[in-house]
Structure formats: structure tokens, C-alpha cells
Chain A
Amino acid sequence: MSSHCSPGGVAVAATPRIAGKISTVALIGPPNSGKSTLFNRLTGMRQKVANYPGVTVEQHFGRMGGIGHPDLTLIDLPGIYSLNSYSEDARVAVDVLHGNMPGTPAPDAVLLVLDALQLSRQLMLAAPILALGLPTMVLLNMSDLMERRGGEIDPLALARELGAPVAMISATKGAGFDAIARFLCRLSEPPEARQQPMQLPVLQTAASCHQWAAQVSTRTNYKAPSSSYWTRRLDAVLLHKIWGPLIFLAVVIGVFQVVFEAGLPLTDWLTEVFTKAGAAAVTVLPYHWLQVLLRDGLWNGVQAVLVFLPQILLLFLVINLLEDSGYLARAALIADRVMRSIGLNGKAFIPLLSAYACAVPAIMATRTIENKRDRLATILIAPFMTCSARLPIYTLIIAAFIPNRPILGDFFGLRAAVMLCLYAMGFVAAMGTARLLKSSVLKANAAPFILELPQYRWPTVRSVALRLYDRGKVFVQQTGTVILSVTFVLWLLSIVPVHHGTVAPLTESIIGRLGHFIEPVLHPLGFNWKIGIGLLSSIIAREVIVGTLGTLYGADPATQSVGLQAALRHDMTIGGAIALVVFFAFAMQCTSTLAVVRRETNSWKWPAIQFCYMSGLAYLAALAANQILSRIFF
């Protein structure tokens, strides 16, 4: 290869934009280059998540306290392959780097993260980034892994070629960060002759960038590490014709097995702890009315929801582990054939699987689907997947109404079978809806399926723990705010109007009257007015219904002394109970999901259609379930 650059190469003397104090640094790199891990390291986990206005891309801000620079703000930009692709991610990156993004300060410096394992390809992004003329440092991430696998690079030669400082780092180990600190320190000083002319391709097409990157890799003696032995060996089994699909099925079943087998005892244990704690707290309170307020107005409702935290965290844990290890990409490859039959591709599998944990992150994960119509279809069907917020009501109803009878020995019982049916129902509804959408309003040419298979790697405790902490925080916060206030207001409405110092009986309270008012609509479904109130309150979030029922039955003298399960058995037929969980399998009761769909589709039209469609389907299915079951069981 010749020593001069591609035809039309030009010398660019990068001029620094600032002299003196710098305040904002942008972090950019291709997808999967380890950017997020690095971001968390540099900011010492103190980050803020927000959204870029008008677009669907998340932005992460953090103070660079991780390397002793809390005065500097680090902006995490979306992972991109090039600046001239038409994706929303790339547009955001360009706008932020140019300082054209409202609400985001123009960066004074850029940290470009590249995966050292695939440098010759990743260098393609360096050309457009360096051409921006901002002071840039190139970080070769995973360089420890590269060296261990027999890869080589001359970082000094690379720095000369690029006209920018180069550092070999390992984001997972936290190695090599002192060079970043030095680079940022030097920027605060007046600029000297540190910029050198560099040769960048003038026409930055994919082909010219690739040619340039290939030449740079050759001149800097880059030797790509051999592909991981273990990745190939593992894929030979995990993508095997017979073993592959079997292991895939085992993994999917295993995910649920872990959540139920390990999660249920934890939930039971937590229930016991909370009940005792609540009882102990009540006895120390001075006034009777204060005791009632705490127990019935606040504690019962919140406790009923909070006990599901272990199960929800377990589900997120398993999905995060699968994602970080690289298996989810293989799962997408295996699932592609099935997803194709409903008009989607394998990439929709990952969002749909994480929708089993929660539809909100799942809908955000649909951004990896390039085809707009495929993405919309995936967004619209994701809430049908049985998310963890449905678990509280499913578990409650199953425990109360379904006898614990074995079907296949001790391993698989009637309760597990009912739960599996509920999961299957959501899945079938999602698939049917996808087919319907893809054969009508969202008909499109088959989108290309281009999937990169990352090397397998061990998930790091740190990044998994961080995401679990985030999810747990959101859940507890929601319980502490939304659910707490809903249960409190409901309790208040269940005791007013107050006549001569005595509270109204439940049936004559405001909530009682409202419930009785909507009862005729719900009666054919086998729901009484208390369930009706539960349904109304759970439009905010599905898990709220358990808190509401806990409050309502706790406030009713007839059922106060017995537990919630016994109270429900006393109050509902088996038909009504099953109709209730069937209703929850299909209904769209989640304002967070509606909000995220609104944000991702940029219109109220799709969340509105989704809400009506799902609610209608839920009503009809619950009606059918109750009518059929009440004829079988009387």
C-alpha cells in the first residue's frame, strides 16, 4: 500500500476551538465499543439521563468525578458507525458535536472510543469525527484483550497518522485513564503546536473512509487479534442445527423458572417482614386514627406492591446477563426464522424478550430496528408481552383461586400451567396483532436483516449492578410516589363523607358509589364494584390494582380480618377471577408505556389506537372467559 493517502486526500490543520478553560466533553464511538462502561467509569456512576428534545435518543450527562475532574461535564452520545448515515442517532451526534442541539452546550473536546479488537473497521468513524476540528483524543478500548489475543498496534504511529493523541485503555478494568486526565488538563492551557496536519479522505463516503482506515491500520502496524477461540467454539454449539434451538428454548424457559422458583420465596419472605414491620410500627403510634391512617391508608397498599421487587429485579438480572454476554444476538439469529413468519425480523426478538420485564425499556430498545414500519409494529405489540407489572395480580389470583395440584410431578403444577397460559395468551395476541399490522397498515418491503454478532464476554458485575439499581430505584420511587398517593386518595375516598364523626360505610362512600355506577358494564365480566375501582386505578400502572384491592378490602369491615386472598375468594367466582387475569393479559394499563410510545412515535395517534385496541380486546376476552367458565363451574 502506498504511503500517501487516498486520492483527493487533503491536509487538515485542526484548529482548536477554545483557548483557556474547557467545560464540556463529548464521548462518541461506534455501537458496542464499550462506551457506556467507559462513561460510567469516568463519571463515577453519577449520571443523569434525559432526552434530546424532539427526538427519541436518550442523552446521558455526568460530571467527570471518576478521574478527578468534577468540574467537567461529559456527554454520552449514541453509538454510531458514521456521521452521514440518516439515522436519528447520527443526526443527534452531529447536532451535539456542532453545538446545534438546544439545551446541550457545545463540546470543547471529544473523546472518541474505538474497539481495539476491530480497529481497522472502527477507524472509519475517526475520519468524520477528526474532520470536525475539535480537540480529540482517540481511546483504544479493550486494548488489554487485544494484546492477550495476539493483536498489535503502534499507538504513537497512530497518533501521528491521526494528528490526535491516542491512549490504550480498558474501560472494564479502569486502566489507562490517567492519559485522559492529562489530555484534558493540557487543553485548559493555551494551545501550542500540538495539532499536526493529518490526511483525511475528502469525500467521506463509506468506501473512501474504509480505504483510508485500511491504509492507516497498515501504516500503524495494526494486527487484528485472532477471533476469540471460545466465541467460535461456543457458537458451534449455541448455533448448532439441533442444539441451538434446544438451548434457546431452555434459556427462555430458564428465565421464567428463575423468576418464579427463586423469586416467589423471596416475595413471601418480604411479605412476612413487611406485615410484621407494619404491625410493629402501628403499635407505637399514639392515636387510633393515626394507626388506621398508617395501616389502611398507606402501608397496606404500598406493601402489596413492594413485595414484588425481588421478582422484578431477578427478571431484569437474567435479561441483562444474557444481553451483556452476547447471547441475545445469537437468540435474535435463531429467532429470525420465526419472526419472519409474522413479518418482522430477528431484531424484534430482543425488544420483545425484554418486554417480559417491562415494556418501557423494550420500546426504547426498538431503536435498533432500522425499518420504521417494523419498528412501529414492534412498539405496538410490545405491551402484549407479559411484563413484570402483571405478576402481582397474576400471582394473587392464582394463589387465591387455583389449587396447587401437580400435573407433571412436582416440577409442573396446575398453578404454573395457568401462569404459562397467561404468558402464552399475551404472546399469541402480540403475534396476531403483528401479522394484522404487517399485512395491512404497516405493509412494507422486507427490511434487510443485518446483525452483528459480538464476541462472547463475561458480563461485568458493575454494569449489571448499575442497571439493576436503576430499575429498582424507579420501581421503589414509583411505589413511594404514584402508588402511595393513589392508595391514600382511594382510602380517603373510601371513608368520606364523614357524618357526625363516624366514617361512611364502604358502600356509601364516594368510591363505593363510583364503583356501583360502573358495575353494570363490568358485571358480565364477573367483576364486582371493588374490582371496577381496581381497574380504574390500574390505568396508571398495572400493579396498582393489588394495592387498591388491599386498601378496599382492608377498609371493608366484613373482610378486614381475613387476608386479601380469602376476601377475594369470598367475593368472586372462579369465572370472574380468571376473567380478571385475562383482562390484564390484554389491557393497556400503563401510563409510562403510553408516554414512551407517544415519545417514540412522536404523535398521540399511536398510543391512542393502542389503548383502544388493547382495552377493547381485553374486555371481549374477559367477557368470553367469564361466560364460558361460569357455565362450566356454575
Chain B
Amino acid sequence: MSRALVSTALSDLAIGSCATLATLDLPDEIQGQLMHLGFVPESRVLALRRAPAGDPTVYCVNGAEIALRKETAQFISIHSVCLAERKVTQ
């Protein structure tokens, strides 16, 4: 399985920013699991906060909050990054 790093990876999304998911480049099983959690192409994802140690990061997608490590998020590519919802808490 080719795991090419993309220039705009989900792991590079700044906290408080929003983006649209483009592609997932992960092993099938992990990809299926992520998709069932809402990580499907064209869905909006918000980087909500980082764990105290700086990794994993909590992402808000489809109303749910999911934590992913950098090593996973770097294989998810995004586009249309925007600095959305400055005030994350409500």
C-alpha cells in the first residue's frame, strides 16, 4: 500500500480551523472504521483540541468527537481550509 504524504494533511490542520476531507490513504480496515465514524470525503472536519501531550488531536466530524494520532491523521488529506468558529466552546 502506497502511503504518500500529502501536502495538506489533516494532521497539519491548526486547532480551531475547519477543512473539507479529500481522501484517506490508509489500510482498508482502518479506512472503513474511520468512514463509519464520519471521516468520509467531502465531510467537514474541525480540529477541536490537542491532548495535553500535544498528540493525539480531537477532531469534530459529523457531530462526533474523535481522537486520532498524528501518525494516522497525516494520511488523511484535506482541502478548503478555513479559520472557522474562533470560539470553539459554543
- Chain A positions within 8 Å of B, measured between CB atoms, are 81-82, 84-86, 117-118, 120-121, 124, 206-207, 209-211, 224, 226-227, 229, 231-233, 235-236, 239-242, 244-245, 333-334, 336-337, 346, 370, 446, 448-453
Are B53 and A337 touching (Cβ within 8 A)? yes
The chain B residue sitting closest to A449, CB to CB, is B69
Which of A227, A334, A337, A452 is in CB contact (< 8 Å) with B37?
A452
Are A450 and B89 touching (Cβ within 8 A)? no
- Which residues of chain B are within 8 angstroms of A85 by Cβ–Cβ distance? 29, 32-33, 36
B64 vs chain A, min Cβ distance (A):
6
Are A450 and B37 touching (Cβ within 8 A)? yes
- Per-residue A-contact encoding for B43-67, CB less than 8 Å = 1, 0 else: 0000001011101101010111111
Are A232 and B90 touching (Cβ within 8 A)? yes
- Which residues of chain B are within 8 angstroms of A227 by Cβ–Cβ distance? 60, 63, 65
B31 vs chain A, min Cβ distance (A):
8
- Which residues of chain B are within 8 angstroms of A337 by Cβ–Cβ distance? 51, 53, 55
- Which residues of chain B are within 8 angstroms of A211 by Cβ–Cβ distance? 40
- Which residues of chain A are within 8 angstroms of B37 by Cβ–Cβ distance? 81, 121, 450, 452
Question: With A and B bound together, what is the CA distance between A466 and B30 in angstroms?
Answer: 35
Question: With A and B bound together, what is the CA distance between A623 and B26 in angstroms?
Answer: 50
Are A224 and B65 touching (Cβ within 8 A)? no
Are B51 and A448 touching (Cβ within 8 A)? no
The chain B residue sitting closest to A235, CB to CB, is B49
- Cβ-closest 9 pairs across A and B: A206-B35, A337-B53, A81-B36, A244-B52, A453-B65, A451-B67, A232-B89, A224-B63, A210-B40
- Which residues of chain A are within 8 angstroms of B31 by Cβ–Cβ distance? 206
- Which residues of chain B are within 8 angstroms of A449 by Cβ–Cβ distance? 56, 67-69, 72
Interface residue range, chain B: 20 to 34
Question: With A and B bound together, what is the CA distance between A70 and B64 in angstroms?
Answer: 37
B23 vs chain A, min Cβ distance (A):
11
Q: Is B84 an interface residue (CB 8 A)?
A: no
A41 vs chain B, min Cβ distance (A):
25
Which of B33, B52, B55, B90 is in CB contact (< 8 Å) with A450?
B33
Question: With A and B bound together, what is the CA distance between A603 and B65 in angstroms?
Answer: 37
User: Can you name 5 A-B residue pairings with CB atoms under 8 Å?
Assistant: A81-B36, A124-B36, A206-B40, A235-B58, A449-B72
A458 vs chain B, min Cβ distance (A):
19
- Which residues of chain A are within 8 angstroms of B40 by Cβ–Cβ distance? 206-207, 210-211
B84 vs chain A, min Cβ distance (A):
14
A212 vs chain B, min Cβ distance (A):
11
Q: Is B34 an interface residue (CB 8 A)?
A: yes
- Which residues of chain A are within 8 angstroms of B34 by Cβ–Cβ distance? 450
Given contacts A224-B63, A446-B71, contact A82 B32 (CB under 8 A): yes
B58 vs chain A, min Cβ distance (A):
6
B89 vs chain A, min Cβ distance (A):
4
Give the A-B pair count, Cβ closer than 8 A: 114
The chain A residue sitting closest to B53, CB to CB, is A337
- Which residues of chain B are within 8 angstroms of A226 by Cβ–Cβ distance? 90
Are B68 and A118 touching (Cβ within 8 A)? no
Are A240 and B52 touching (Cβ within 8 A)? yes
Question: With A and B bound together, what is the CA distance between A232 and B40 in angstroms?
Answer: 24
Are B63 and A118 touching (Cβ within 8 A)? yes
Question: With A and B bound together, what is the CA distance between A452 and B38 in angstroms?
Answer: 11
Are A239 and B64 touching (Cβ within 8 A)? no
A447 vs chain B, min Cβ distance (A):
9
Are B53 and A121 touching (Cβ within 8 A)? no
B53 vs chain A, min Cβ distance (A):
4
The chain B residue sitting closest to A447, CB to CB, is B30
A145 vs chain B, min Cβ distance (A):
13
- Which residues of chain A are within 8 angstroms of B36 by Cβ–Cβ distance? 81-82, 85, 121, 124, 206, 209-210
Which of A210, A229, A245, A451 is in CB contact (< 8 Å) with B89?
A229
Given contacts A81-B37, A207-B41, A448-B69, contact A239 B60 (CB under 8 A): no
- Which residues of chain B are within 8 angstroms of A244 by Cβ–Cβ distance? 51-52
- Which residues of chain A are within 8 angstroms of B41 by Cβ–Cβ distance? 207
**Which chain B residues (4-18) contact chain A, with CB distance < 8 Å?**
none
A206 vs chain B, min Cβ distance (A):
3
Question: With A and B bound together, what is the CA distance between A227 and B30 in angstroms?
Answer: 26
- Which residues of chain A are within 8 angstroms of B68 by Cβ–Cβ distance? 448-450
Are A450 and B62 touching (Cβ within 8 A)? no
- Which residues of chain A are within 8 angstroms of B64 by Cβ–Cβ distance? 118, 121, 452
Q: Is B82 an interface residue (CB 8 A)?
A: no
Are B89 and A236 touching (Cβ within 8 A)? yes
The chain A residue sitting closest to B57, CB to CB, is A333
- Which residues of chain A are within 8 angstroms of B83 by Cβ–Cβ distance? none
B56 vs chain A, min Cβ distance (A):
6
Which of B29, B58, B72, B90 is in CB contact (< 8 Å) with A333?
B58
Given contacts A85-B33, A206-B35, A233-B89, contact A453 B56 (CB under 8 A): no
The chain A residue sitting closest to B88, CB to CB, is A232
Given contacts A121-B64, A227-B63, contact A241 B52 (CB under 8 A): yes
The chain B residue sitting closest to A210, CB to CB, is B40
Question: With A and B bound together, what is the CA distance between A334 and B53 in angstroms?
Answer: 7
Which of A120, A236, A242, A453 is in CB contact (< 8 Å) with B63?
A120
Question: With A and B bound together, what is the CA distance between A523 and B52 in angstroms?
Answer: 50
Are A333 and B56 touching (Cβ within 8 A)? yes
Given contacts A82-B36, A236-B89, A240-B52, contact A117 B67 (CB under 8 A): no
Question: With A and B bound together, what is the CA distance between A453 and B52 in angstroms?
Answer: 15
Given contacts A232-B89, A240-B52, contact A118 B71 (CB under 8 A): no
Given contacts A121-B63, A207-B40, A226-B90, contact A239 B69 (CB under 8 A): no
Which of A84, A124, A232, A336 is in CB contact (< 8 Å) with B51?
A336
**8 further A-B pairs in the complex, CB-CB below 8 A; given A231-B65, A240-B52, A333-B58:** A120-B63, A206-B35, A210-B36, A235-B49, A448-B71, A450-B30, A452-B66, A453-B67
